[in-house]
């Protein structure tokens, strides 16, 4: 042995390091926000023209500003109802009319969005996909 190194060198397996590098790259790419979300302003339409909607013979849902919901099947005075019970009541009123129902929703302009979402979900449960959202006529 005259000072020479024999032929068995150290070999490093680079596969785990490459795997870790790619996992870190994927992690940072998926959690980084490249651009902040833009705020969009929506101007709601106003009703400039319309016709008077008679309530007789229609299912009428009235929603007050504080979120109180009233139900009327077309006859009699509207009665207070919980939004969770609305779907069943609309379904039974629809069945009493032979499966057809015209639904009018009289909602205050300041009703919280969540309340209207519950109303629409209840109508969807009753298989009502079209309803009239009644507005006031814009004053000249």
User: pLDDT averaged over the chain?
Assistant: 77
- Per-range mean pLDDT, top range of 2-6, 46-50, 69-73: 69-73
Query: Confidence band (pLDDT; 50, 70, 90) for 101?
Result: confident
Distances in Å between the Cα of 88 and the Cα atoms of 13, 83, 113, 124 are 66, 10, 22, 11
The whole-number pLDDT of residue 21 equals 95
Q: Determine the 3-state secondary structure of 118 from DSSP.
A: helix
Question: Between residues 52 and 38, which one has the greater pLDDT?
Answer: 52
Distance CA 49, CA 136 (A): 9
The whole-number pLDDT of residue 45 equals 37
Indicate the pTM of the whole model.
0.58
- In order of start, what are the domains of the chain with their CATH numbers? 59-134 (3.30.420.270)
| Beta carbons of 100 and 58 less than 8 angstroms apart | no
Lookup: tokens for 45 = 């339409």
Q: What residues form DSSP beta bridges with 62?
A: 70, 106
Lookup: tokens for 24 = 């870190």
């Amino acid at each position: 042995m005259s000072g020479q190194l024999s032929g068995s060198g150290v070999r490093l397996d680079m596969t785990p390091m490459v795997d870790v590098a790619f996992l870190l790259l994927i992690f940072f790419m998926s959690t980084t926000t490249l651009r902040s979300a833009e705020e969009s302003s929506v101007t709601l339409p106003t009703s400039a023209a319309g016709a008077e909607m008679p309530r007789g013979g229609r299912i009428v849902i009235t929603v007050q500003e504080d979120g109180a919901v009233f139900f009327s099947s077309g006859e009699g005075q509207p009665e207070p109802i919980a939004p969770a019970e609305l779907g069943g009541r609309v379904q039974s009123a629809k069945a009493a009319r032979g499966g057809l129902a015209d639904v009018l929703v009289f909602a205050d302009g300041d009703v919280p969005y969540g309340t209207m979402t519950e109303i629409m979900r209840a109508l969807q449960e009753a298989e009502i996909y079209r309803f009239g959202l009644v507005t006031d006529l814009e004053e000249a």
